[in-house]
Amino acid sequence: MATLILVRHGRSTANTAGLLAGWTPGVALDERGAEQAAKLPGRLVGVPLAAAVTSPLQRCRETLAPLLAARPELELHTDERIGECHYGDWSGRKLAELADQPLMKIVQQHPSAAAFPGGESMRAMQNRAVEAVREWNARIEDEHGADAVYLMCSHGDIIKSLVADALGMHLDLFQRIHVDPCSVTAIRYTPTRPFVFRLGDTGDFGSLVPGDQARTADKAAEDAGNAVVGGGAGAA
């Protein structure tokens, strides 16, 4: 079956502002995010792509723009099922303000039971994303053959939930997975099981350097044993 390359969108204005963007309109790439997106075509040189599928949100479309310019033959599709989690009343709010909400403990420790007020459950988020991947796998293989490679540009929690599914992990464990902005995750699907070949690969080890100030808020959450909901801002 097909090989899927998952790209998280580049760093956004919401990431650097510490906001949980969700489906909030007008969230674009910041300067660093645009630089990350510009490097994506070079990182994928030599990888044949049968198609690209994107979340409809602006930050994902902006991330793919340089790749599409470099590969004008690449067919682009939009699929709402790989759009960000619908965080409902939490959308657009400061993550620091949400940290003390009782629901945050559920999101961190028992996400399969978490449902956002006015939004969707994390279980529903994963279900729609997995359904989308399964359907696209079949379509890509049918149209381009079993060895085809295709790309999806999506969001932190969506990608983490897809990786959890590929690894056979319960959704309650998916907060142990981390994917930085514009990171590449590669999953090869077979009739019997998926294989994860890359996970959150940026080629940049800056986020591992002690004292990195660019990700202070992300690190504070992680030091407390929590995941950054939505994915975090990554390294500078």
How confident is the model over 80-101, as pLDDT tens digits? Answer: 999 999 999 999 999 999 999 9
Residue 141 region, left (φ>0) first, then alpha (ψ -120 to 50), else beta?
alpha
Question: Which residue matches tokens 């990182």?
Answer: 43
Residue 6 CA: distances (Å) to CA of 25, 49, 51, 65, 185: 23, 12, 12, 16, 5
Gap between the Cα atoms of 69 and 74, Å rounded: 9
Return d(Cα 85, Cα 121) in angstroms, integer. Answer: 8
Would you kindly state where each structural domain of the chain is located, as residue ranges?
3-223
Predicted confidence band at 236 (pLDDT cuts at 50, 70, 90)?
A: low
CATH number assigned to the domain with residue range 3-223, chosen from the 4 options 3.30.420.140, 3.30.420.40, 3.40.50.1240, 3.40.50.1370: 3.40.50.1240
Would the pLDDT of 211 be above 70? no
